[in-house]
Amino acid sequence: MVLDALLAAEEHEVVGVLDDDPAKAGLCLLGIPIVGTSRDLRGLAGRLTFEGVVVALGDNYLRDRKSREVRVAGLQPVTVIHPGATVSRFVELGEGIVILAGAVINPGTKLADNVCVNTAASVDHDNVLGRSSHVFPNATLAGGVSIGEFTHIGSGAVVNPNLKVGKHSYVGSGAVVTRDVAEGVIVVGVPAREVKKQLKRPD
């Protein structure tokens, strides 16, 4: 999906795909050759002519780690915005962001580095999305919402206006958040309620 968005945007020439399954080397993805694994990043940067890398991973923690590896290799994280997305010119974007088809992001919103706004998600005005957070397909963030680092907003979830979702928290698919969500918890249901702690953290 991310490669499809990159190709549709036609802003960059795509020279290859990295996949950490070595068995896929030499195959193609959407017509683009798989040229190696992410462990080959430094060597490939010397052999191929490219300056940037898109990290196409849904897992927040893995996406963050790979993005750091890209920077350590001296390469630039590339932002991808599908041409079918609607992003206000008054939105502030960090580096390495992915915004997929049908997503809408309204004025005054700020996206930190490595944020993913997935298919048909709606992010209304004056939201703040923390580093390496992910808004899944068809999720809705009303106005004035603050989403912490590494937060996961599940498919079809709704976060009501002016609420905060703490970093490392997971909002389950279809949940409706009607009050602030603490840091490092999992909430589900309508209205959303805490069911357990979310213990995963960055490497």
pLDDT recorded at residue 37: 87
Confirm if 109 and 91 have CB atoms less than 8 A apart: yes
82 among known catalytic residues = no
Tell me the C-alpha distance between 33 and 83, whole Å.
Answer: 23
Question: What is the set of domains in the chain, with CATH numbers?
Answer: 2-77 (3.40.50.20), 80-190 (2.160.10.10)
pLDDT in tens, 52-102: 899 999 999 999 999 998 888 888 899 999 999 999 999 999 999 999 999
Residue 38 clears pLDDT 90, i.e. is over it: no
Phi, then psi, of 141 in degrees rounded to 5: -110, 115
pLDDT in tens, 8-25: 999 888 988 999 998 998
- 172 against 39, higher pLDDT: 172
pTM: 0.93
Active-site option among 82, 125, 134, 152: 125
